[in-house]
Amino acid sequence: MVSNRQPCPTIGCLLLEKGLITQEQLEEALQYQERYRGRLGWILSTLGYIRRLDFFRALAEFLNLPFVEGVPRILEKVDAKLVRNFNPEELVTYEVLPAQLEGDRVLLFTSYPNSEKLRTFINKHFAGKLVEQVVVTDLDLVKSVQELFKGSFIDRAVNGLFYLTPEYSASIVFSKGQVFLMGGVLVLLLVGLYYKPIFTLTLLMGLVQIFYMFSVGFKLLISVVGSKSEMEQFVTEEEVKALEEKDLPVYTILVPVYKEPEVIGILIESLKKVDYPQNKLDIILLLEEDDTETLEAAKRHAPPANWRFLTIPNSIPKTKPKACNYGLFFARGKYLTIYDAEDIPEPDQLKKAVIAFRKAGDKYMCFQAALNYFNRDENFLTKMFTLEYSYWFDYLLPGLFRLRLPIPLGGTSNHFDVEKLKEIGAWDPFNTTEDADLGVRAFGRGYRVGVINSTTYEEANARIKNWIRQRSRWIKGYMQTFLVHARNPVKLYRSVGLRGTLAFYLLIGGTPFAFLVNPIMWLIFFVWLFTRTQAYEPFFPPAVLYMSIANLLLGNFMGVYLNLIAVFKRKYYELLPYAFLNPLYWVLHSIASYKALHELFTKPFYWQKTQHGITKHKPPLVKT
Amino acid sequence: MKLLMFTLFLLLFSSYAFLFGELFTDQFYIHKNLLFFAEKALLALEGNPPRLENLGFVYPPVGFVPFLLLREPVLVSAMTGSLLSLLLVLFFIKEKPKHTLALVLLLFNPLYVFMAIQRLEVLSFYYLLVFSVFFAVRHLQTQYSLYAFISGILFGLTFFADFRSLYVSPFFALGIFLSTTDREFSYRFSLLLVKLTPVFFFFLSWLYLNWVFMEDPLHFIKSPYSFFRSEFQSVEVASVSGSLKSSLVFMLDFLLRTIPLILPYFVVLFQLRTFRILYSLPLYIFYLLPLLLYYFSIYTGQFFPSLYTSVVFLLFALIFRGISATSGSRAFTLSMLVAFLSAFFLPLQSKEVNERFFVRSFFGAKVDKELSLEEDLRVSQLIKEYNCRKTLADDVYSFPVVYFSGEPKRFVLQYNYEFYTYMSNPWLYADCLLLSIEGRGDALALHFSKAKHGFLQGYYLVHKGEKYMLYRRVGYDPE
């Protein structure tokens, strides 16, 4: 019997005919397509109406092309020698895998058949050849490329920065020059203490006090300038509303996770509500090889087709930046951001980032969104942490941005221009605050880092031990970043200028230094307070004494007062009295700093894992 | 714009410097407070030993700070005065109210000029107070945290300019509470903490500094030279202090008598009723701060009926007029004109000798003997001429001489460890002795009772003037 049925003119019709979607879903997808552009089938699968597999199978049928499912079946047909002639990132970008070349005939696996970009690829590499296309799913294609280039990917994820610019890699903790310098200073110190102890100690004390004065003055200046961001939003609501959505580029979101099955659902739900066309989102969940529980949890939540799970092959160092570098190879977006598993970004954040990039011009490589906490009321620690972050992201970073100084990026919600990110070597996998390092490196390479007025809510560390682990990692990373960029002070000065150099020394070097020195100063102060001993007098000549008193009074006052102000922007008024308890919080910082210093020498690349999902507070619903 | 500001600064600076220089070179006049700050700063920087505690930690430090940077009173006055005036001009340029004439009338008001060049610490206090109120109001209008921050810091700094700012703190608090009745308690409480934390922190810091350097946290209150005892006590004020009602009556009477000088304040008080942004009651509380300051100063006996204090009313009037309405007001401008003109005449009868002389000098009057520093200068010269390497003196009274000498190491003063050793056997150590005749509490005059009559064992009198007696040791040979 011959069927009289006409072939479907569109893929929507075919999917409808096959019963894979309903009429309403089709209409919704068509409206979506009208609004945002893009492939209808892909829209349907990113909206979660059809499975990825069904879409690609239907696509193959619609285009009358063969379809192959599963990585093993793909790989058995691939000529590995042929593939190795290609740049794997190019294959990922063009969504194509050349399988065989025999005479004039070439066999290509593709997840985007008959597309413009496939034609570009063919014209570039196989012009005049007879091309046979075989449809595969995008995920199978990526996994096949990953399998074929496994060694290369992981090597470049680990050593890419070192190959490109070894001087910026933290894989060498101390340079030879730094070892000699530290040794020289130590010897001088010992000689000084032996022959002229009073002079040496006075000099040390004086230098510490000068540092404190500069540090307090610097933070005050930055904060005052930063507080102006309240008055002028870098990206306005009107600009977001006026954004032409059809022209929005593909946006990659990297989600590096490790053993965080309990929070993965939060992220999937919040990213579903992001105000950005789902078909233009490219979400990559980066999993470690041994982390099956998070993978299973993610699968259970059945994310739509714009999610991809990438497993990072086991290798040392086992760090987030290495995972991000790995994910970057597979990123399809023009822009890219990173979210942690427990993150809840404000829905319009990606749009604001796109606007910011368009407004700010070519010089900008990255825009940092503010980070804050949804569980701030949980306990003393979360309250203090929220105060600290409110100050850091709402005042300090905008201040650095306005003064055009290097910005140490936050751990997540930093939005990158992918091309520029790749150009400067992406993240340093040996640095435990790869984000801060990247911000400084970008600045040094002539790029700017900006700040956008959007917030991502995270889970504040609610347990002291966990907090100290996390903080020690951050401070160790600051130490690494300082050591890396201070290797060649002249080069640093030439690349970031005098203001940038001062800011770098005070912020990146000064932060851990202050935390390390504080307990010594507190001890000296309290011993004097309780004993009124005159033993200190030789080490505190008038100038040093006055500076010490000014730092004691004004420095501490400013530290507390700036935190008082920090609650206003977000209206966290109930946290304000806790700002007076900052000295206690600083003690915790110092403990973490000494742990960091110890680790810098014993296990510099060790990634102290922060345990997430331990809050008793439920994350808030994302407003759409 | 920058060029305009710089030109204006140069203009103000040179005008103030010229005026200051004229008064000093022609009439040997500088307000003694300036010399006091200058001498203490000199001791702090070049004393024996140079130490910050030589400042005394008794007076609010704002007056001393510029002298630690620039030693010449003429430079300090001209610089501080012109910077403060420029700040006001900048405020006007930024806020764009149409009261340029009123601003000019304030800047040229003789009492304002007197403060700008002779009472920089008082003018600084007024500026800090008025701008802290301005930024508090701005925060309430806009909710920007920067304004709350600046307002809090400025109000905190008023303590370092005048300890009496603590009196107005409760009213600041009240103003904030009443102006935010529509907001949640946590916000109101937060704002209160932001506003008052600096002033209390600075107060505690001052206690701490007094404890560290003077061994007693309340030294600045207990000291016989305390700021709280520094203003010359008016008999009238002394008779009403301590009584709430009498203080109020006294204040109202004083205001009434000086009303032409502060007329703009009352004009703006009347005009504020139309201010729509805030509820008028809390705004009035902010606006009434100068009155409250007056009142509590009278109540605590720390008030002297000087007329230059009218400047704080004019500043409040000008700023509040500026933030409440950008349109011009004929009544306001006219009242400023009245204030300006009356500032040429009312001070001629003032009880405060400095301002009286200053305004009289516009009409060609000569300085009163008690204000002239001619003898102070001469004595400082004599000390050098006689090559007195160690001159025992009580600088509570003779500080102008110490300052004019420019060499504090030539003196042995109370801050020196060896002062009392010198006092007990001066002829063993001191080359010269300087006594103040007019200062009834001069430590040397009290200790050496016959010295005022020209007799001092081991010394002979080399100078006797209206203010000082200078003795030189018998047989002293500097060679």
Q: What is the structure's pLDDT at B41?
A: 93
The distance in angstroms from the start CA to the end CA of chain B is 60
B235-275 per-position pLDDT tens digit: 778 888 888 899 999 999 999 999 999 999 999 888 877 66
Say what angle helices A464-485 and A510-531 make with each other, to 10 degrees. Answer: 120
Is residue B303 very low, low, confident or very high in pLDDT (cuts 50, 70, 90)? confident
Q: How many CB atoms lie within 10 A of CB A618?
A: 9
What is the token pair recorded at A377?
């009321």
What is the 3-state secondary structure of B60-109?
CHHHCHHHHHCCCHHHHHHHHHHHHHHHHHHHHHHHCCCCHHHHHHHHCC
In angstroms, the separation between the Cα of residue A599 and the nearest Cα of chain B is 38
Q: Is B65 on the interface with A (CB under 8 A)?
A: no
In angstroms, the separation between the Cα of residue A9 and the nearest Cα of chain B is 59
Rounded Cα gap, residues B460 and B441, in angstroms = 22
Residues of A with a Cβ under 8 Å from any B Cβ are 224, 227-228, 230-231, 542, 546, 549, 553, 557, 560-561, 564-569, 571, 573-574, 576-577
Do residue A546 and residue B52 have CB atoms under 8 angstroms apart? yes
What is the 3-state secondary structure of A137-197?
CHHHHHHHHHHHCHHHHHHHHHHHHHHHCHHHCCCCCCCHHHHHHHHHHHHHHHHHHHHCH
Distances (CA, A) of B200 to A598, B79, B170: 40, 29, 12
In angstroms, the separation between the Cα of residue A565 and the nearest Cα of chain B is 6
Cβ-proximal residues to A243 (8 Å cutoff; 6+ apart), any chain: A351, A354, A355
Rounded Cα gap, residues A205 and A547, in angstroms = 10
Q: Is B201 on the interface with A (CB under 8 A)?
A: yes
Q: Residue A228: its chain B contacts at CB < 8 A?
A: 146
Q: What is the structure's pLDDT at B232?
A: 54
Q: Residue A565: its chain B contacts at CB < 8 A?
A: 145, 148-149, 194
Q: Residue B197: its chain A contacts at CB < 8 A?
A: 560-561, 564
Average pLDDT over residues A18-41: 88
Q: Residue A431's Cα: distance from chain center in Å?
A: 13
Going by C-alpha positions, the residue among B32, B53, B54 that lies closest to residue B43 is: B54
Q: Residue B41: its chain A contacts at CB < 8 A?
A: none
A233-248 per-position pLDDT tens digit: 889 999 999 998 888 9
Q: What is the structure's pLDDT at B275?
A: 61
Lowest mean pLDDT among A255-259, A419-423, A427-431, B15-19: A255-259
Task: Between B279 and B368, name the one with better pLDDT.
Answer: B368
Rounded Cα gap, residues A109 and A82, in angstroms = 13
Q: What is the structure's pLDDT at A2?
A: 44
Unique residue bearing structure tokens 């994310």: A303
Q: Residue B145: its chain A contacts at CB < 8 A?
A: 227, 230, 565-566, 568-569
* CB A566 within 8 Å of CB A387: yes
Phi and psi for B352 in degrees, rounded to 5? -90, 110
Residue type for position A561 = Y
B319-339 per-position pLDDT tens digit: 988 877 667 688 999 999 999
> Nearest Cβ partner of B145 from A560, A569, A574?
A569
Q: What is the structure's pLDDT at A178?
A: 93
Q: Residue B212: its chain A contacts at CB < 8 A?
A: 549
Say whether the peptide bond before residue A317 is cis (omega within 30 degrees of 0): yes
Q: Is B479 on the interface with A (CB under 8 A)?
A: no
Average pLDDT over residues A258-277: 83
Q: How many CB atoms lie within 10 A of CB A620?
A: 11
Q: Residue B471's Cα: distance from chain center in Å?
A: 34
Q: Residue B149: its chain A contacts at CB < 8 A?
A: 224, 227, 561, 565
Q: Residue A45's Cα: distance from chain center in Å?
A: 27
Residue B211, judged by CB atoms within 10 A of its CB (0-12, 13-18, 19+), counts as: middle
Mean pLDDT of chain A: 90
Rounded Cα gap, residues A33 and A601, in angstroms = 55
Is the pLDDT assigned to residue A284 strictly greater than 70?
yes
What is the token pair recorded at B163?
């300890």
In angstroms, the separation between the Cα of residue A25 and the nearest Cα of chain B is 46
Phi and psi for B433 in degrees, rounded to 5? -130, 135
Q: Across A366-370, B213-217, B475-479, which has the greatest mean pLDDT?
A: A366-370
Rounded Cα gap, residues A416 and A439, in angstroms = 11
SS3 state at A29 = helix
In angstroms, the separation between the Cα of residue B5 and the nearest Cα of chain A is 22
The distance in angstroms from the start CA to the end CA of chain A is 53
Mean pLDDT of chain B: 88
Q: Residue B189: its chain A contacts at CB < 8 A?
A: 573, 576
In angstroms, the separation between the Cα of residue A569 and the nearest Cα of chain B is 7
Pairing of strands A307-312, A335-338: unpaired
In angstroms, the separation between the Cα of residue A475 and the nearest Cα of chain B is 29
Pairing of strands B468-473, B432-436: antiparallel
Rounded Cα gap, residues B307 and A364, in angstroms = 59
Is residue A622 very low, low, confident or very high in pLDDT (cuts 50, 70, 90)? very low
Do residue B146 and residue A569 have CB atoms under 8 angstroms apart? no
Unique residue bearing structure tokens 């005749």: B437
> Nearest Cβ partner of A573 from B146, B149, B190?
B190
Lowest mean pLDDT among A127-136, B101-110, B297-306: B297-306
In angstroms, the separation between the Cα of residue B59 and the nearest Cα of chain A is 18
In angstroms, the separation between the Cα of residue A395 and the nearest Cα of chain B is 10
What is the token pair recorded at A110?
């593709």
A&B contacts, CB < 8 Å: 63
Is residue B229 very low, low, confident or very high in pLDDT (cuts 50, 70, 90)? low
Q: Give the chain B residue nearest A571 (alpha carbons).
A: B187
Q: Across A90-99, B281-290, B467-476, which has the greatest mean pLDDT?
A: A90-99
What is the token pair recorded at B452?
């005022």
> Nearest Cβ partner of A227 from B49, B145, B197?
B145
Average pLDDT over residues B293-309: 87
Do residue B145 and residue A565 have CB atoms under 8 angstroms apart? yes
Rounded Cα gap, residues B108 and A282, in angstroms = 68
B414-437 per-position pLDDT tens digit: 888 889 898 888 888 899 999 998
Q: Residue B194: its chain A contacts at CB < 8 A?
A: 561, 564-565, 568, 576
Q: Give the chain A residue nearest B186 (alpha carbons).
A: A573
Q: How many CB atoms lie within 10 A of CB A449?
A: 26
Do residue A571 and residue B198 have CB atoms under 8 angstroms apart? no
Lowest mean pLDDT among A59-73, A330-344, A544-558, B163-177: B163-177
Q: What is the structure's pLDDT at B233?
A: 64
Q: Is B94 on the interface with A (CB under 8 A)?
A: no
> Nearest Cβ partner of A565 from B52, B148, B189?
B148
Q: Residue A413's Cα: distance from chain center in Å?
A: 6
Is the pLDDT assigned to residue A3 strictly greater than 60?
no
Q: What is the structure's pLDDT at A231?
A: 80
Do residue B51 and residue A542 have CB atoms under 8 angstroms apart? yes
What is the 3-state secondary structure of chain B?
CHHHHHHHHHHHHHHHHHHHHHHHHHHCCCCHHHHHHHHHHHHHHHCCCCCHHHHCCCCCHHHCHHHHHCCCHHHHHHHHHHHHHHHHHHHHHHHCCCCHHHHHHHHCCHHHHHHHHHCHHHHHHHHHHHHHHHHHHHHHHHCCHHHHHHHHHHHHHHHHHCCCHHHHHHHHHHHHHHHCCCCCHHHHHHHHHHHHHHHHHHHHHHHHHHHHHHCCCCHHHHCCCCHHHCCCCCHHHHHHCCCHHHHHHHHHHHHHHCHHHHHHHHHHHHHHHHCCCCCHHHHHHHHCHHHHHHHHHHHCCCCCCCCCCHHHHHHHHHHHHHHHCCCCCHHHHHHHHHHHHHCCCHHHHCCCHHHHHHHHHHCCCCCCCCCCCHHHHHHHHHHHHCCCCCEEECHHHHHHHHHHHCCHHHEECCCCCCHHHHHHCHHHHCCEEEEECCCCCCHHHHHCHHHHHCCECCEEEEEECCCEEEEEECCCCCC
B381-402 per-position pLDDT tens digit: 999 998 899 999 998 889 999 9
Q: Residue B50: its chain A contacts at CB < 8 A?
A: 542
Do residue A557 and residue B193 have CB atoms under 8 angstroms apart? no
A174-204 per-position pLDDT tens digit: 999 999 999 999 999 999 999 999 999 999 9
A334-383 per-position pLDDT tens digit: 999 999 888 889 999 999 999 999 999 889 999 999 999 998 988 999 99
Task: Between A56 and B278, name the one with better pLDDT.
Answer: A56
Q: How many CB atoms lie within 10 A of CB A102?
A: 9
Unique residue bearing structure tokens 């600076």: B13
Q: Residue A551: its chain B contacts at CB < 8 A?
A: none
Q: What is the structure's pLDDT at B53?
A: 84
Unique residue bearing structure tokens 């300082």: A482
A536-573 per-position pLDDT tens digit: 888 888 889 989 999 999 999 999 999 998 899 899 99
What is the token pair recorded at A204?
């040390």
Q: How many CB atoms lie within 10 A of CB B382?
A: 20
Going by C-alpha positions, the residue among A190, A434, A400 that lies closest to residue A319 is: A434
Q: Residue A549: its chain B contacts at CB < 8 A?
A: 209, 212
SS3 state at A376 = coil
* CB A281 within 8 Å of CB A253: yes
A385-426 per-position pLDDT tens digit: 999 999 999 999 999 999 999 999 988 999 999 999 999 999
The DSSP output letter for A539 is G
